[in-house]
Structure 1
Amino acid sequence: MPLIDTHLHIIDQSALSYPWLAGAEALNRDFSYEEYAVQARRAGIAQALHMEVDVAAHEIETETAYIAGLARREDSLIVGAISSCRPEDGDFPAFLERQLANPMVKGFRRVLHVMPDALSESPTFRDNIKRLAKTRFTFDLCVLPRQIDKAIALVDLAPDVTFILDHCGVPDIKGEKFDEWSGKVAEIAKRSNVIAKISGVVAYANADAWQVDTLKPYVHHVIDSFGFDRLVWGSDWPVCTLGGGLATWVAATHALVSGCSNEERGKLFSQNARRIWNLG
């Protein structure tokens, strides 16, 4: 059963600037499309959406153009891009108009878990998120458990926008803080315009000690809270290399949903992604 990877990061420091990499030694190198594609095909990944990598703000559209070039390669796995954005800026409406003319762009993300909580509460930010209503664009929420309340407020202000909760809501698996996270995930799951992304969790567990059973309570809670009609899957490559790598995460995914029906796994693995982002 093929996978659509909704969360691929390509890092090419010869082409783009990534200011945050200076503080992320384990990821501070190039992670090329070629490296990913070999591993992805071996793991059964058939298509991928590129997720923005928080490039320097002035290079946001340059990053999209770079990824579009990779997508044009023969037999490329890349079928679209989730672009970075700055909804807090007054020029966001003009930026949005340009992206509407670019079929490569399927949605947006503004990384929030490393930003002040007040960022998403500004009137400009909120008004600009509302502008995504009645467009094809989704908005990815990358927040810490303590910030899920902020995400819920944003979701409630824009009920006609489809939001994607990245990385199962970023649980602290290593710290075994299930209770601090689970209730907030269940609460945001009550909003029908939120989709959960099963991704990233291997990077939040103890890299040397996690097993499938370590991840199971977290992943199964997300599945139970959202249901299979509102789930997508992502590799979070290369961040997943911090917890074992792409092949390990794919194998763990199959183990985590081994008791589910083919119909349920099909929705998680590819069908929901095709529907949400209108992928061919």
Structure 2
Amino acid sequence: MYTPLDIIDTHQHFWKYNPVRDKWITDDMAVLRRDFLPEHLAPLLEKNNVKGCVAVQADQSLTETDFLLTLAQENDFIKGVVGWIDLRADDLDDQLKSYESFEKLKGFRHIVQGEKYGFLSDENFIRGVARLADFDYAYDLLVYHYQLPEVLAFLPEVHHVRIVIDHMAKPSIKTGEKTHWELDMAAVATFSNVHCKLSGLVTEADPEYWDHDTFFPYLDEVFEMFGPSRVMYGSDWPVCLLAAEYNKQLDIILDYIERLSSREQKMVMSENAIRFYNL
């Protein structure tokens, strides 16, 4: 199996487990009910030839952003941070300016997948995301596949912002249904400012009944839509542990990209991430 010279993992999380704050970790996700910190991830990255990562927020608070920035300052392999900020706040500009000295802060994310229908049409939220471009920040868009029609109404309002769709918009891999996802994602891909993360796939499949071929039809579609210049690898560690160890989820992508040229493989596994996040 081909291994690129360098791999950047564009999507992983850290946390000190708190049962109140992290109540989203339900009983059937008990494997995640512990601390996941840089000292736990570093050996996995080294073993799998991953040269750096982007730490993405898992809690919606400024405390979370500051926590990740502190970890990034202390660990060179954390190349970037996608934090959280209240994008609807009246003083958003002042808050963004307060972070300008943090070179590893590369963008922000809101957990839109947990919001009610209509959230992406909120004028304050749209205005907040639009402002990110003026500060050279990217935006990670986390949605389920059935929220893509809302995304399509949202994107024209933020066409100048660097945006990446997390987890391929979480298609329903477990059921095998992909018609609506496929049509909506094709429309999303027409926006040249939008990229797509090859991440979070194993947790959308049946955790006990998948192999590499399970994911290839979905990857086929994403590469056809976005091309190799607008997709990037992400592990979604430690959430991926619900269905696969770190090396197992990585092997899916490495297996798939064997069909690509060496140049394209480098783009997918590192170069696109470096360019998108200004790493």
Task: Give the 4+ runs in structure 1 shifted more than 6 A.
Answer: none
- 2:103 is paired with a residue whose SS is coil
Give the root-mean-square deviation of aligned CA atoms.
Answer: 1.9
Alignment pair present for 1:30 and 2:35: yes
Q: Deviations over 1:133-188 (max 9, x none)?
A: 23321111111111112112221101110110010111010011111211111110
Distance 2:28 2:131 in 1: 33
What residue identity is the alignment partner of 1:269?
Answer: M
2:238 corresponds to 1:248:
no
Q: 1:10 aligns with which of 9, 14, 25?
A: 14
CA shift in 2, pair 1:213/1:22, >3 Å: closer
1:232-255 alpha-carbon deviations (Å, 9 max, x no partner): 110100111112121101111111
Q: How far has the Cα of 1:99 moved from its partner? A: 2.5
Aligned counterparts of 1:245 and 1:273: Cα–Cα separation in 2: 22
Maintained 8 Å contact 1:136/1:277: no
Measured in 1, the distance between the counterparts of 2:137 and 2:131 equals 10
The gaps in structure 1 that reach 5 residues or longer are: none
The secondary structure found in structure 2 opposite 1:107 is strand
Alignment of 1:31-180 (within 5 A): 31-53=36-58, 55=59, 57=60, 60-73=61-74, 76-180=76-180
Matched AA of 1:108: F
Per-residue CA deviations over 1:3-52 (Å, capped at 9, x if unaligned) read 101101012136x9434335763322222221111112111110001000
Over the matched positions of the two proteins, sequence identity in percent amounts to 28
User: Quick check: 2:96–2:135 contact (8 Å CA) kept in 1?
Assistant: no
- TM-score (norm. length: structure 2): 0.92
In structure 2, how many angstroms separate the alpha carbons of the residues matched to 1:73 and 1:84? 20
DSSP-derived class of the 2:164 partner: strand
Cα distance in 1 between the residues matched to 2:216 and 2:233 = 15
The change in CA–CA distance for 1:127 and 1:271 in structure 2 (over 3 A counts) is: same
Q: Aligned partner of 1:13: which letter? A: Y
Q: d(CA) in 1 for partners of 2:186 and 2:138?
A: 21
Q: Deviations over 1:104-129 (max 9, x none)?
A: 21001001111112222111111111
Higher relative contact order (CA 8 A, sep 6+): 2
SS of 2:135's partner is coil
Residues 88 and 124 in structure 2, CA contact (< 8 A), matched pair in contact too? yes
Name structure 2 gaps, 5 residues minimum.
none
Q: Give the 5 Å matches for 1:176-195.
A: 176-195=176-195
Q: Residue type of the partner of 2:43?
A: V
For 2:42, the aligned partner's letter is A
1:182-261 map, 5 Å = 182-261=182-261
